Amino acid sequence: MMKLIDGGICAAKGYKAAGVHCGIRKNHSKKDLSLILSEVPASAAAVYTTNLVKGAPLTVTKAHLENGIARAVICNSGNANTCNANGLEIAEQMCALAGQALSIAPEDVVVASTGVIGQPLDIAPIAAGIPELAEHLSTEGSAEAAEGIMTTDTVLKEVAVEFELGGRTCRLGGIAKGSGMIHPNMATMLVFLTTDAAIAPAMLKKALSTDIQATFNMLSIDGDTSTNDMVTVLANGLAGNPEITAEGDDFNAFMAALNTVTVHLCRMIAGDGEGATKLLECVVTGAADIQTARTVAKSVVCSSLLKAAMFGADANWGRVLCAIGYSGADVDVNRVDVAFKSPKGVIPVCKNGAGIPFSEEKAKEILLEKEIEILVNLNSGETSSTAWGCDLTYDYVKINGDYRT
């Protein structure tokens, strides 16, 4: 049995977290440095952005996770530490300073950064803030850490679940940041996950790499794949379950818990897209295979024209067909059905690739809701997939017109 619980990244046994303002960001009311610590060494895995321009922290983290073990995560916001001549040196210094404050090896620290790209990053405020950060570590610190990694986010993003493995109660939680510069092809944001389940590093990596194909790789805000973003998971084994070393019932149960958390975070990120007023969820059914289903779902949520129509509560279903048509998927468009759904009801708008009569007034009522489902049935198979996005508003341009200055 699985249930949602409070606590975020501190819900699982043996984790503490904190967030402080150290001075990277000009706004003193916003935290800009976060830390997560496991009491004991943990299995660790990560997935990274596919952008060829990568932040220095990703390079350092990859090296540190080669042995599949980590103890801590440190992350700053306000500066992405990307395209800096001394970026690797600063990322390594962040790990060394955190290691010193926590009395752990620097190689056991995962490092991340988010914010403006190409701006020099001064290590001085980080060095000054780490002792306070370490001192504030708490089992109640998830929300503080979540705040410390935010950039243009407007809400904290944290979630946790409780589940059973091998007769033991386990917990898995996460925090995330992500509002803009988010597009499929991992990774697309910063996500930090923690669990007290016992799972071997190789199986943890397999679980994460498999899960992101159906979750974070199916999320798009604006079509831009970021330079710094990654998803990291720590598993310290303190729940006491028999270690998962191979596929089987326990691995499947772990995957289900992981997926519950990641889907919740996907929805939170999509609903908090820069300038967004609505969460869009495209559910594709009746696909011939998983690749077709995913390609179609992503193409629909990535369509700027459709996103704009959803902002205006305009049931312009032709934009859905248009996005399917240029997706590259092998689809028989003469079989496609489309409907829009929200808490106000469901309205079919297209049958077998052609328009059908529907009430514009009812459609508008449905599309004025905060959460909209775009239902696409390809009627060509048994496979389904879901993608998440948001509407495109005037505020998106305002936010990104002066993001750096």
Rounded distance between C-alpha atoms, residue 26 and residue 16, angstroms: 27
In contact, 204 and 162? CB cutoff 8 Å: no
Residues 6+ apart with CB under 8 A from 97: 126, 127, 130
Distances (CA, A) of 75 to 36, 126, 140, 316, 323: 9, 10, 18, 42, 37
* Residue 342: exposure state from Cβ atoms within 10 A (0-12, 13-18, ≥19): middle
b/e map of 151-166 (b: 16 or more CB within 10 Å)? bbbeebbbbbbbbebb
* Angle 97-99-100 from CA coordinates, rounded to 5°: 65
342 forms bridges with which residues in the sheet? Answer: 345
Rounded distance between C-alpha atoms, residue 94 and residue 379, angstroms: 53
Rounded distance between C-alpha atoms, residue 23 and residue 31, angstroms: 9
Q: What is the rounded end-to-end Cα distance, in angstroms, of the chain?
A: 49
- 3-state class of 219 per DSSP? strand
Query: Residue for token digits 């620097």?
Result: 106
Q: Active-site residues: which are they? A: 188
Spatial CA neighbour of 319 closest among 362, 273, 355, 277: 355
